[in-house]
Amino acid sequence: MYYESTKSGTALVETMKRNNIWKIVEKELKALRQRWEGPDVPIIILPSNTADQNLMSDTNGKAGLAFSDKLFLLVPESISSNELKALFTHEYNHVCRLWHTKNSENSLTLLDSIILEGIAEHAVRERLGEAYTASWTTLYSNEQLEKIWKTTILPKRNLMKSHPRHNQLLYGWRGVPKMAGYCVGYYLVETFLNNNKLSTFDIMTENAKVIADLTHSKN
């Protein structure tokens, strides 16, 4: 992260304190731990770089990184309460799925990753409504998503997270449709939830192949 001076960074943190950033997250952690039977993990909250135009336009300046035993939140000082709740819900859902399934992030395949993202964003929708889901959830029609799934993601579904093309397909870089893996994951999870009348907690530990309807696949 970059600040023009130590003073400006300190001022940002003080503003975040006045906006009750840490208190809101603490309250959300308590609520979601109970709802999802999740772990108590360290949460590191830092001010995001609001000078990053791509970050501001894509995510309104917020970002997160989750592991099975900790998570990081990068937030602008002006973040609204519900935007903060949406970010935390998404990232803590990752923590819970990884923790419940006993998986590390590095052990994930591309299929695991897209389902992880799909479940997390549907958890946001359940908790806060569609208005607070990420903008990428509406990038494509179902017909487009089905095509991206079958032609772009499905053939590469077993790529490990360490493979260079994993993130290219997940985020949509270098000729891959924007946020391809995220969008397809959201679509597959939505289909599974609707067809089976389930909640995201119901599928917290469900195998990604089951959710993607690949249980009869040989690979």
CA–CA gap between residue 124 and residue 59 (Å, rounded): 14
Q: How confident is the model at residue 8 (pLDDT cuts 50, 70, 90)?
A: low
Cα separation, 133 vs 182, whole angstroms: 12
pLDDT digits (tens, 9 = 90+) for 22-67: 999 999 999 999 999 999 999 999 887 666 666 656 667 789 999 9
Q: With bands split at pLDDT 50, 70 and 90, how would you rate the model's confidence at 7?
A: very low
- In this structure, the dihedral spanned by the alpha carbons of residues 55, 76, 32 and 86, taken in order and rounded to 10 degrees, is -50
How far, in Å, CA of 132 to CA of 140, rounded? 18
| Residue reference for tokens 């990184």 | 65
Give me the long-range contacts of 98-107 (CB less than 8 A, separation at least 24). 98/66, 98/67, 98/68, 99/38, 99/39, 99/68, 99/69, 100/37, 100/38, 100/204, 100/205, 101/205, 102/68, 103/68, 104/67, 104/68, 105/66, 105/67, 105/68, 105/161, 106/161, 106/162, 107/160, 107/161
Res 10 pLDDT > 90: no
Q: What are phi and psi of 63, to 5 degrees?
A: -160, 165
Q: How far apart are CA 10 and CA 30, in angstroms?
A: 28
| Per-residue pLDDT band at 132 (split at 50, 70, 90) | very high
Tens-place pLDDT, residues 56-107? 566 677 899 999 999 999 998 888 999 999 999 999 999 999 999 998 888 9
Exposure of 151 in the CB half-sphere (CA atoms within 13 A): 8
Name residue 69's amino acid.
D
- Using a cut of 0.85, tell me whether the model's pTM lies above it: yes
Q: Are 138 and 131 in contact (CB under 8 A)?
A: no
Q: Give the pLDDT score at 52.
A: 61
Question: How far is the C-alpha of 156 from the C-alpha of 151, rounded, in Å?
Answer: 9
